[in-house]
Chains A and B, each alone.
Chain A
Amino acid sequence: MSDARESVLSPTVVAAIDDLELSARLVVEGMRTGGNRSPFHGYSTEFRQHRSYRAGDDLKYLDWKLFARTDRLYTRQFRETTNVPVMIVLDSSASMDFPDGVSKHRYAAIISAALAYVASDQGNAVGLMTMADGALSYLPARGGRQHLRTIIAMLDRLEAAGTWNPAHVIDRTAQLMRRRGIVIVISDFYDDEDATRRALQRVTMHGHDVSVVQLLSPEESVFDEEGQVEFVDLESGARRLTDAGAIAGRYRDAMHDFVTRTRTDAVHAGIDYVRLSTDMPPERALRDYLQRRGARHIAGHAHRPMSR
């Protein structure tokens, strides 16, 4: 894909589109021009056995080559395999409502919608799990366009508020998934690092294929504040007076350590890690992620069959 194409779909433009479904489709279309392999590979059908032809069998399943060799009519039988369920776990805590303009929350919603779109398009079942104001809101993984619309509508309604309990949400997601599938957690991962890491490990050990998408804004990672600044915590409302210029260096170091730690923890637990920034064109972000997933998916399935 050309750079010109990417620039057309700047995060600001995509976020400015009110209709989430439209922006998701835009992102997915933008991504597809790159000609990616689908990351949620379907195993639509798989040859199982031959049986003698019986009247009424669809002629398209008749094995003509075998008929030429043996002079008998056989019908090919297939086993139907289902695609894996994809659960999107979205952090909608107040800390995601940052910065002004394209907030992490809106960006995450667009990415989630696009992911749901891609997965659903591949015939996968897609579900959504979020926690708003302490209450879990859950849409089970199902296929079909209607269900995709429900998910996108829910994503659209979602507002970033309150806190969330990542460990609880992740654990509950795994419990609610009846089959092994793909779990994509989108968050800034500020809350409860240790508990989150353990929850992710547990989910991985249950056989789910877990990805974490760490979403940060340039305002957080670059931190170019100056002078005396009183910061207000978006989640707790706590205030802290700082000399931003003086602490910027230490803040950036701590932030860098945090991101590195999150990645290392994920990689060590066999979890796919992606870091996204709200100033990245969303379709590029999505493509990067899917490309990596695609590579992993193929490698993963070579030795670990997912569906029966």
Chain B
Amino acid sequence: MTWGAPIALVGLALLAFPILIHMMGLGRATVRPFPSLRFLEAARLLPSRRTRIHDAALLALRLAVLAVAVFALARPSLGGNVAIGAGEGVVRAVILDTSASMRRETPSGGTAIAAARRTADTLVSAADAAITVATDDPAGAVAGAVAWLASKQGDRELIIVSDFQRGAFDDAAAGTVPSWVSLRGVRIPVQGVGAALDMRFRQGGREVTVRSNVAGGRTQASWTPGSARAVGGTTPTGQGTTETTTLAGNSDGASVRAVNEAALSVGRPIDGPSFFARVVIVYPNFEGRAALLGAATPLSEPWQGALIGQLQSDSLLATSASDAEIVVRDSLRADAAVAARARGGEAVVAAVVDGAGPAARLVLDVRADAGSMTALALRAALARAEAMAPRELEPDVLSDSMVATFDRPATADAPTARPADGAVGDTDAPSLARWFWVLALLALGAEAVYRRSLATRSAVVEHVER
């Protein structure tokens, strides 16, 4: 049973009135003169004990009329969305910065990313409901985190755990956080702030080194091209933030190599963080495809969703998938995430997860040919997803006072939680209110009949006494 208007249940307090009236009607109080009522003040609570409730049946009927009417006002319905109203308390979304700058050491040793994860775990465990969004773009993750908070009830908090590298999160990003969400920044201190930052990454077939430093209040970057180096389309490829494995049929070898060569001209950092996103691309001709997909599970970790989100927003992948020629048409898991769709709405790239825990791999089931444009666009989109953002070259971090300006409590009243997707809203569930009203009327009728019968009975007694 769920309530469309749970606030109406406050009306149950009305039940106190009939009880009080019944209690008052019972017995005469002894009248006693007393020097001062001063210390009887605390006793203004009404009689707390009663040995006998006057006409318990009549009282019960009256209470039933009121209670049922109040329930009817609260718009009861069967089944429906239990998520609403649940999870009261502190609801937290923790945005965990996993960008390259977080690979720096903290003053106490260890990488900033490890310290940030520990902080995030503490914050999450202290909340009644929480989510950790691990992202290399904290500002970009705000919208998703706020959307998640909107689906929950309670004191909603958004916490950014980051080194606050310049450009990672700023006033503009803080401004996008609605006023009903309290915002807090937790800084992970890092060493080497402001020192020159070296980063190697792959650009086309070359390795490029970028050194950035702060001079005269400006950040300057110098680019040094390295020696040419072959970029393999072999398995696995790259040392970036994503470890991508391609699973294809024996006949597809040439196509896969060509696709990888063509796609991997996007710049990507070489020294990846300790955290790897393992991605497996499966083409239709791979022999173990049916077994792999059969054993797969739905998406379970934030990074998987984040990656799918990036793929969905990749315009090249979307365009090529819309015209894709779908070669396998086996039924799709109901809980699979779709990264790209054909014009007709069929899934072209579907995502599931193979394995669990740290060894979990995101399996991208490509339903088009290994040498197709879609395969190329997917490979390129994956590469872009892990490409280094220019802000990663910023060696400086925001000052503590600047981070402190992000902190603010929630000022506006929170909107009521939106039902989660797929949940049944109160408009969908059949309302039981009318049946409650019928019940209330019946109880009212019964009360009237019973009252009349009581009156007759006392009249008879009176008559006999006379």
Contact = CB atoms under 8 A, between A and B. Distances in A.
B390 interface: no
B1 interface: no
B38 interface: yes
* A-B pairs with lowest CB-CB distance, top 9: A247-B43, A243-B47, A95-B35, A254-B39, A228-B29, A230-B29, A190-B36, A231-B34, A242-B43
A245 B49 CA distance: 9
B122 interface: no
Interface of B: 27-49
Given A232-B31, A232-B32, A250 B43 contact: yes
Interface residues of A, number: 34
Contact of A229 (B29, B35, B38): B29
A96 interface: yes
Contacts of A239: 31
A225 interface: yes
B32 A225 contact: yes
Given A245-B49, A251-B43, A233 B30 contact: no
B34 A98 contact: yes
A91 to B, nearest CB: 11
A213 B334 CA distance: 88
A96 B49 contact: no
Given A246-B47, A246-B49, A190 B31 contact: no
A240 B40 contact: yes
B35 A246 contact: no
A232 B35 contact: no
Contact of B35 (A98, A243, A254): A98
13 contacts: A190-B35, A217-B35, A228-B30, A231-B40, A236-B37, A241-B29, A242-B43, A243-B43, A246-B47, A250-B42, A251-B40, A254-B41, A258-B39
Nearest to A216: B35
B32 to A, nearest CB: 5
Nearest to B51: A227
Contact of A95 (B36, B39, B45): B36
Interface of A: 95-96, 98, 104, 188, 190, 217, 220, 225, 227-236, 238-247, 250-251, 254-255, 258
B40 A234 contact: no
Contact of B44 (A230, A240, A245): A240
Contact of A243 (B31, B36, B41, B48): B48
B44 A229 contact: no
Nearest to B34: A231
A98 B29 contact: no
Nearest to A232: B33
A230 B32 CA distance: 6
A243 B37 contact: no
B34 A233 contact: yes
Nearest to A236: B37
Contacts of A229: 29-32
B36 A251 contact: no
Nearest to A255: B39
Interface of A is mostly: mixed
Contacts of A255: 39
- A217, A244, A255, most chain B CB atoms within 10 A: A244
A271 B21 CA distance: 50
A98 B32 CA distance: 11
A188 B49 CA distance: 32
Given A228-B27, A258-B39, A242 B44 contact: yes
B458 to A, nearest CB: 23
Given A228-B27, A230-B29, A241-B29, A235 B43 contact: no
Nearest to B49: A246
Contacts of B34: 98, 220, 231-234
A227 B31 CA distance: 11
Given A242-B43, A258-B38, 7 more contacts: A188-B36, A225-B32, A233-B35, A246-B43, A246-B49, A247-B40, A254-B39
Contacts of B35: 95-96, 98, 104, 188, 190, 217, 220, 233-235
A247 to B, nearest CB: 3
A209 to B, nearest CB: 28
B48 A235 contact: no
Nearest to A93: B35
Contacts of B43: 240, 242-244, 246-247, 250-251
Nearest to A227: B30
A277 to B, nearest CB: 13
Contact of B49 (A243, A251, A254): A243
A235 B41 CA distance: 16
Contacts of B33: 98, 231-232, 234
- B27, B38, B39, most chain A CB atoms within 10 A: B39
Contacts of B47: 228, 242-243, 246
A164 to B, nearest CB: 13
A231 B34 CA distance: 6
B32 A231 contact: yes
Contacts of B36: 95, 188, 190, 233-235
Contact of B38 (A96, A190, A217, A250): A190
Nearest to A244: B43
B39 A231 contact: no
Contacts of A188: 35-36
A254 B42 contact: yes
A205 B248 CA distance: 104
B203 to A, nearest CB: 81
A217 B36 CA distance: 12
Nearest to A94: B35
